[in-house]
Amino acid sequence: MGVRSVTLDQLTRLCHDGEWRRAPYPAAPSGFAELDANLPGGGWPVGAIAELMPEAMGIGELSLLLPALSRLACAGRYIAWIAPPYLPYAPALAQGGLPLKRLLIIQTRNAQESLWAAEQTLRCPAFGAVLSWPSAIADKNVRRLQLAAEAGGSLGILYRPTEAAREHSPAALRLRLQPTAKGLAVDIHKCRGGRAGLRLQLSLRAISPTSHCDAVAVHPFTATGS
């Protein structure tokens, strides 16, 4: 008696609306149209961990993130870089549109401290994104960071070596990055709520060297599209 009958018609409409494919997380637009189109919600997963596995350092692994980081920072949230492998070069980041006052560099003495600092910063809602470069990280620790990112509503980025692609990881998004003549090839290795196995070609020249603060169109907490 109490069961509501759902007609086939209604079901079809539901599917067409894309209601069932809604992104599991709100997203922060990456600033690259091809990438956004293939990520659930249209951007980096906010409140989750994304793993980036570049073939080498210096192929555009930071430029890929800069537009999103700039947007988050301009929306009032802090960005933490935990134990970066080289000196983050302020003039380049400023050229990329990142407000330097919102960027905090945290130095640690060992992997354990880095993990702790990452968890603490991810958990704090004042931070919009936390970047970390663990040389090796256990499955269960990624899960801990994932929970911290959920609690703090921030985007956690782990830079990992390409060999890590062979291991399982609870991260919501895993991308392999390879340099190409024109820019960057992005392999979607895993994508919760989206399609994995795609390869995208991004042209890194698409990043304009102007400030992103002038055009904050999307609030980082709200999902775009459905």
Partner 1 sequence: MLWLCIRLPQLAREAIAGAATAASEHSENSERNLLVQREALDRLAAWAYQWSSLISYATHEPLLWLELGGSCALFEGHEALLARIEAELVQLGYSHICALAPSPTAAALLTHASGQRHVLTRAQLRQRLDDLPLQLLALPAATLAALHASGLRRIGQVLELPAAAIARRFEPETQLYLQRLCAQTSDPRPAWRLPETYSARCEFASEVRTSTALLFPLQRLLLEFQGYLRARDCSVQRFTLEFAHYRHPLSRVTIGLSAPGRDAAQFLTLVRERMHSLLLPAPVNALRLQALEFTAPAIAQGDLFGSDAQPLQQLQRLLDRLRARLGESSIHALQLHADYRPEFGWRSAAPELLAASASSASLAPIAARPIAARPCWLLPEPMRIEPPAQLLRGPERIESGWWDQGDVRRDYYLARTGEGTQVWVFHDRRGGQWYLQGLWA
Question: In terms of residues, how long is the chain?
Answer: 226
Total of chain residues touching partner 1, rule CB under 8 A: 58
Q: Can residue 136 be called a binding residue for partner 1 (CB under 8 A)? A: no
Facing residues of 179 across strands? 184
Give the position of tokens 């919760």: 192
Binding segment toward partner 1, per CB under 8 A, in 25-33, 134-142, 167-175, 210-218: 210-218
- Cβ contacts of 210 within 8 Å, gap of 6 or more: 97
Q: Can residue 138 be called a binding residue for partner 1 (CB under 8 A)? A: no
| CA nearest to 63, candidates 212, 214, 165, 183 | 183
Per-residue tokens: 205: 């020249």
Collapsing DSSP to helix, strand or coil, 144 comes out as helix
Q: Can residue 133 be called a binding residue for partner 1 (CB under 8 A)? A: no
Q: Can residue 154 be called a binding residue for partner 1 (CB under 8 A)? A: no
Q: Can residue 38 be called a binding residue for partner 1 (CB under 8 A)? A: no
For 44, phi and psi rounded to 5 degrees?
A: -65, 145
| CA nearest to 66, candidates 219, 214, 224, 204 | 204
Of residues 130 and 173, the one with the C-beta less far from partner 1: 130
For 52, phi and psi rounded to 5 degrees?
A: -115, 125
Q: Which of 165, 178, 200, 224 binds partner 1 (CB under 8 A)?
A: 178
Q: Which of 92, 136, 138, 206 binds partner 1 (CB under 8 A)?
A: 92
Q: Can residue 206 be called a binding residue for partner 1 (CB under 8 A)? A: no
**Closest separation in Å from C-beta 10 to partner 1:** 41
Per-residue tokens: 3: 């069961």
Of residues 14 and 56, the one with the C-beta less far from partner 1: 56
Of residues 23 and 184, the one with the C-beta less far from partner 1: 184
Of residues 105 and 138, the one with the C-beta less far from partner 1: 105
Work out the number of other CB atoms within 10 angstroms of the CB of residue 15: 11
Residues that bind partner 1 (CB under 8 A): 55-63, 66, 73-78, 84-109, 113, 116-117, 120-121, 124-126, 178-180, 209, 211, 213-214, 216
